[in-house]
Amino acid sequence: MSYWAKSRIWMKWLFPNHIWKIKTTEKKVFLTFDDGPTPEITNWVLAQLKSFNAKASFFCIGDNIQKFPEIVSQILKHNHSVGNHTFNHLNGWKTETEKYVENTELCQKELEDGRWKKEDLQTKTYRLFRPPYGKIKPSQSKKLRKMGYKIVMWDIISYDFDQTITKEKCLENVLKNIENGSIIVFHDSQKSWKNLEYVLPKTLEFLKEKGFSSEKII
């Protein structure tokens, strides 16, 4: 059993107010992408999603939002949702709560006051947040939720960032665990590209064949 599979059991117990899966009887899943936006890779992801009429949620690093605002604008123009992944991809377990919250708010400021047209902006209402590495302290979680953030975790992680696994294993990590309401994690980053390029199109094809739609989280 993987580290995440082991830790997820007690993490769900510790954080019952986090969103681990979307309750639904419909054949819907929720694709999510962490660590972007990244030039070329995020745009490739958007093209793949468009070709399958799929929607997704992008949990962006504030520093990347600041560097590549035009990509965030494209995400929103394609009617996907954008969430907060802290400004500097902080590990909550290694960061003081006050600093963690400040860093999250710095990312949110980029989302809400970024350099794109206001009519494209959909993030003020959502205030979606995903902790980098899935690591967050109870004190951090409590403060962020009081500030109106929805903390979105996942029930399926592709491990596309793990360069020691094969692309076939990465695909298996996703397909064997899909259920109604699954939240699936990919990464639109350079580190994940080798696996993502192979796995995402095949995942989208699988979902289409099995009658699943991919929706954004709001």
Domain positions in the chain are 3-214
Instruction: Quickly state the pLDDT bin for 14 (edges 50, 70, 90).
Output: confident
- Position 116 scores a pLDDT of 55
- Position 124 scores a pLDDT of 47
Q: What does the alpha-carbon distance between residue 192 and residue 160 come to, in Å, rounded to a whole number?
A: 5
CB count in 10 Å sphere of residue 15 = 19
- More confident call, 40 vs 2: 40
- Position 12 scores a pLDDT of 74
Q: Which amino acid is at 37?
A: P
Question: Model-level pTM?
Answer: 0.93
- In sign, the C-alpha dihedral spanning 61, 63, 65, 67 is negative
Residues 6+ apart with CB under 8 A from 164: none
- Position 25 scores a pLDDT of 95
Superfamily of domain 3-214, CATH level 4: Glycoside hydrolase/deacetylase (3.20.20.370)
SS3 of 102, please? helix
Angle between helices 97-113 and 138-146 (to 10 degrees): 40
Across-strand partners of 152?
A: 19
Residue 136 has pLDDT above 60, yes or no: yes
